[in-house]
Amino acid sequence: MNLLDSFTTAFALPFMGRALLVLIVLSIAAGLIGVFINLRGLEFLTDGLTHAVFPGLAAGFVFGGQGGVLIGALVAAAAATIVLTLMSNNKVTSDATTAIVLTAMFSIGVIIVSASPGRAGGLEQLLFGHLLTVTDSEALITAIVAAIALVLVVLTFRRQVFHAFDPEGSAAAGYRRVSTELVLNVAIALVIVAASNAVGNLLVLAVLIVPGALSRLVTTKLGALFVVAVGSALLASWIGLSLGFNISVVGGVDVPAGATVALSFVLLYSIALIVRVARKGLNA
């Protein structure tokens, strides 16, 4: 199998098909949601949520095995979302406090997994995912969780745009501020949960933040932002998955495909950045 095959016919293999399905659903959800993360400047909150979800992943994994991961993550995500949404609304804590608490959460997760015997390799799997070895049921559940996130954002699309642009105006128009924010935060958390299983907790951030940031580099049209974000996420997923397949299956080097996917996201972003800088340089 040559490199070209990795980008094309390889997807006929069942495990590649599953991985692709997971990434397609994730790309659509994360692309749309990522634009709102960018417009609202929620990168820090998103980072915080990924950290906060980790001990849930870890505890779920230790006590319930692969099937427990999702449940643990969902519980942790629900708790963290509510706490972070209320905190950001009441401004009771500083960014520093939040960062400290979340780092602590992350450490707790690492300790939970490391301290449990018989779960060797678990830590790596939680951090970097196991894209090429997801089972049918895992793929299905991941897709469902991401799809729920997608539906939440699609149903509240207009008020999310309104709120991102002008929170006071949107409240005056009768949209409740807390509920708008809570819906988006829940959707972010669901994508994190879904993506943690596939690309791993450490790499989720790339999937959620890069497409939105990239689209801002490419266009200033509102509708186009969402198209570019989803499109670039799909493209990066395809490239990353193919590369991961080529390196680990064809090449026999044990590299998690989640890492090549995350790298592809960053690569596309870098290209967009260089093109933009070059264009600005030409115009100046």
Partner 1 sequence: MSPRTRPIPIITDDALTITGGSFSYGDTPALTDVTISVKPGEAMALIGPNGSGKSTLLKGVLGLIPLVEGSMGLGTTAGIGYLPQTEHIDPEFPVTLKQVVMMGRYRKLGLFRFPGSADRAAVREAIASVGLGNVANKRFGSLSGGQQQRGFLARALAAQPSLLLLDEPFNGLDQPNRDALMQTLRQLKAAGVAIIVTTHDLELAREVCDTVLFVNGRQIAFGPKDEVLTLANLQEVFHEFQVEIDEHTVVVPGHEGH
Query: Residue 101 has which token pair?
Result: 């608490």
- To partner 1, the closest distance from the beta carbon of 182 in angstroms equals 17
Residue span 220-259 as binding mask against partner 1, x where in contact by CB under 8 A, dash where not:
xxx--x----------------------------------
Out of 65, 165, 270, 278, name the contact with partner 1 by CB under 8 A: 165
Q: Between 38 and 142, whose beta carbon lies closer to partner 1?
A: 38
Identify which of residues 6 and 160 has a Cβ nearer to partner 1 in the complex: 160
Tell me if 130 contacts partner 1 by CB under 8 A.
no
- Binding test (CB under 8 A) with partner 1, winner from 63, 65, 103, 166: 166
How many amino acids of this chain bind partner 1 (CB under 8 A)? Answer: 23
Among 251, 212, 249, smallest CA distance to 232 is for 212
Q: Are 161 and 203 in contact (CB under 8 A)?
A: no
Structure tokens at 251: 């090449």
Can you list the alpha helix ranges (DSSP code H) found in the chain?
3-7, 14-40, 43-90, 95-115, 122-128, 136-155, 157-165, 167-172, 177-199, 204-218, 222-245, 257-283
| Nearest distance in Å: CB 246, partner 1 | 37
Q: Is 179 in the site for partner 1 (CB under 8 A)?
A: no
- DSSP state letter for 41: T
Q: Which region among 182-190, 216-224, 249-257, 267-275 touches partner 1 (by CB under 8 A)?
A: 216-224
Name residues whose C-beta falls within 8 Å of residue 13's C-beta, 6 or more positions apart in sequence.
none
Look up residue 220 and give its DSSP letter: -
* Residue 280 within binding range of partner 1, rule CB under 8 A: no
Tokens standing for residue 218:
């490419």
Binding positions for partner 1, rule: CB under 8 A: 39, 155, 158-159, 161-162, 164-166, 168-175, 216, 219-222, 225
